[in-house]
Structure formats: structure tokens, C-alpha cells
Amino acid sequence: MVPPPRFATVSFDNYITDPGQPSQAEAVEALRGFAGRLGDGADAKGGRRRHWFRRVARPAVDGGPRGIYLDGGYGVGKTHLLASLWHTTPAAPELKAFGTFVELTNLVGALGFQQTVKTLSGHRLLCIDEFELDDPGDTVLVSTLLGKLVEAGVALAATSNTLPGKLGEGRFAAADFLREIQGLSAHFRALRIDGQDYRHRGLPAAPPPYADEIVVQAAHRTPGASLDDFPALLDHLSRVHPSRYGAMCDGVQAVCLTGVAPVPDQSTALRLVVLADRLYDREVPVLASGVPFDRLFSEEMLSGGYRKKYFRAISRLTALARDAKGLAEASYSR
């Protein structure tokens, strides 16, 4: 549970703040201070002091919540900042954990609840990216898990497009689980990060979709590239658990897709969102024919409870399409 390849070498120093958005620089300073305070009481190797007869929970880092929550729109650099916090925190890597919200719930599924609590309780920091509550079961599960970890003295950091008190809103009957949601919110101090999507700030428009023959040629000319018909890919995703999408992407140097079309339903759309996130984490360019990526999701989807996920996926796929432009140009030149 470490930051993905795209964020393996990021730091607070190489986070480029927007001068017109002071909340970005303020967030950097707040996170630097948070990381520094997590080092208090560490032993010489970066771990925590050992107590022979009892576990002593560490106090809240600032006298308040023992977590920090980065709230903002897609593309303002929240994951960059979260990974920078992980890298900067003065503790050994095995005492820090980084993963998406989905990966955290998958960990509970793999280890069981009690073993997950036992495994993570020895950590100084747990970073949770893309914090979302999509169903009541996850709400109760994560609320209980984080409560146990906070009791054990684990510091928390999370990113989301939704303030912690509003998690689950528009997706299920959040009012019925208000106590759990409020309990989650109490663990965090929220930091708002404003700004435009950095993936497209000042950059030329994303390349339009290419002809099928260009995509096929590029796939055959690029070592390690995959080549799939888009509907066939969606069908395959329905038969693979989303927790395996990352492993499915490992070793793939480029993704080439023919016949991209609007996704037919919300379940399919959410699976595609997870795939887009894993491809973005691994910096895998995506070359496609068919409709542009901003037409993948219907107007109903883009105005519903999962709209922020869909906009994030469009932003990330568009950035990966821009990265793939050179593959198409190489095919044109032949």
C-alpha cells in the first residue's frame, strides 16, 4: 500500500500552485505541518516508541481531529498532495499505508475486519485517496474501521470531491446513516483546495478520436500495447472484480481502443471509472477511435450522484489521450 507509479516521486516542492488560488499554497503549508507533527515521539528508525505492557494511543496531532481531509474539484492536485504527505511523513515505509477507498474496502474483504484493524493499527499514517461512500454497507464498515484505527493512534489523511459531512449524498439514503457519516466527519479537519483542472490548464485541446486503422497500426507498432474493441472491453470488465483492474494494467505500455461509444448503464460506467483511475495511476496512454471521451457518459449520469466520478474519469482519460498523440503521429508518418 504505497503511492502508485505516477506519484512515486512527487513532493510538496514539485506541486505547482496556482497563484490565483491561495488555498493551494495554504494546503501545502498545512500538510507540511501535519507531517512534521506525525514525527513527534518516533524512534530513531522512524517508528513509534514501544510500550511493553500497554498500547498508548497518540494524542491528536493538533488538539482536534486526528485526520486531514483534502476537499476540492477534480484536477486540483489532491492526490499529488496526499502522496507528498506520505513521502514526507518521518516514518518507515512499512509504518505508512496509501491506497484508494476501493482498495481499503478490498483489503477488509481479503483479510477480514479484525485482521485489517490489527494490520493497520501499527501504522503512523493511513492515506485514503478518492474517498467515496457509494452504499450503506461501506458507510458502516469504514466508519467502524476508522474509529478503531483512530483509537489505536493512527493518523488519517483522505482526498475526495465531497466534504466529509456530505459523503453518500445523492447516492443512497444518507439521512438514514447520518450518525455514521457524522462519526466519519469528526475524524477529519477539512482543507478546501480551489482551482482549475491542472491536467488541462493552459494546454491545447485533447486530440479527437482517430480512425480505426490508425489505432490498429499504432497498437501493432507499439511494444506492450493492448488492442481491444470497446464493447468487448466493457464486457470483460464486468467479469473481473474491480480490485484486479490494477494488476490487469501492469505491464501494459499503451491502451488502444476501437469503437468507443457511450456506456450503456451506470454499473458499466462505474467500472470504467475504476479502470480510468488505474490507467492514470500507471501513466498508460490511451489511443481511441469512436466518440470523444467527453461523450462517454449520458447527461443523466453527469447530473446524478456519481457525477464527480464521471468528470474525473473524463479529465483523466483526456489527459491520457493527449499522452497517446505521439503514437498516432508515428502511424501517420509511415
* CATH number, domain containing residue 115: 3.40.50.300
Spatial distance between the Cα atoms of 260 and 231, rounded to a whole number of angstroms: 8
Number of separate helices (H) and strands (E) present in the chain: 13, 8
* 207 is a domain residue: no
Spatial distance between the Cα atoms of 279 and 292, rounded to a whole number of angstroms: 17
Domains contained in the chain, number: 2
Residues 16 and 113 reside in one and the same domain:
yes
Residues 177 and 133 reside in one and the same domain:
yes
Spatial distance between the Cα atoms of 260 and 262, rounded to a whole number of angstroms: 7
Residues 138 and 12 reside in one and the same domain:
yes
Residues 227 and 304 reside in one and the same domain:
yes
pLDDT top residue among 54 and 117: 117
Last residue of a domain, one of 158, 193, 228: 193
Spatial distance between the Cα atoms of 275 and 319, rounded to a whole number of angstroms: 14
* 53 is a domain residue: no
pLDDT for 45 equals 38
Residues 28 and 140 reside in one and the same domain:
yes
* 64 is a domain residue: yes
Spatial distance between the Cα atoms of 190 and 157, rounded to a whole number of angstroms: 10
165 pLDDT above the threshold of 70: no
What's the Cα-to-Cα distance from 183 to each of 118, 179, 180, rounded to whole Å? Answer: 21, 6, 5
Last residue of a domain, one of 193, 223, 253: 193
pTM for the structure as a whole = 0.63
- Helices within the chain (DSSP H only): 22-38, 78-88, 101-111, 113-121, 136-151, 178-186, 212-221, 230-237, 245-249, 266-281, 299-302, 307-323, 325-332
pLDDT cut 70: percent of the chain above it: 75
Please name which of 113, 107, 170 lies closest in space to residue 140, comparing C-alpha atoms. Answer: 113
pLDDT single digits (tens) 102-160: 788 878 888 888 999 999 998 999 998 877 765 566 667 777 888 888 888 888 888 87
Last residue of a domain, one of 193, 222, 257: 193
Residues 77 and 156 reside in one and the same domain:
yes
* 312 is a domain residue: yes
* 229 is a domain residue: yes
| Strand pairing category for 67-72 and 188-193 | parallel
pLDDT single digits (tens) 261-306: 999 998 899 899 989 989 988 889 999 999 999 889 998 888 877 7
Residues 175 and 231 reside in one and the same domain:
no
| Strand pairing category for 155-160 and 125-129 | parallel
Which strands sit side by side in the sheet containing 254-260, from one edge to the other? Answer: 225-229, 254-260, 286-290
- pLDDT confidence tier of residue 185, bands split at 50, 70 and 90: low
Residues 226 and 171 reside in one and the same domain:
no
172 pLDDT above the threshold of 80: no
User: Other C-beta atoms within 10 Å of 300: how many?
Assistant: 9
pLDDT single digits (tens) 193-230: 877 655 544 444 567 889 999 999 999 999 999 999 99
* 201 is a domain residue: no
pLDDT for 291 equals 92
Residues 139 and 252 reside in one and the same domain:
no
Residues 112 and 175 reside in one and the same domain:
yes
Residues 263 and 177 reside in one and the same domain:
no
* 199 is a domain residue: no
The C-alpha cell of 134 is what? Answer: 457509494
DSSP letter at 305 equals T
Containing structural domain, residue 315? 212-330
Candidate from 36-40, 55-59, 188-192, 313-317 with smallest mean pLDDT: 55-59
Q: Give me the half-sphere count of Cα atoms (radius 13 Å) on the Cβ side of residue 113.
A: 10
pLDDT for 74 equals 65
Residues 162 and 75 reside in one and the same domain:
yes
Residue partners of 16: CB distance under 8 A and separation at least 6? 77, 198
* 163 is a domain residue: yes
User: Other C-beta atoms within 10 Å of 128: how many?
Assistant: 24
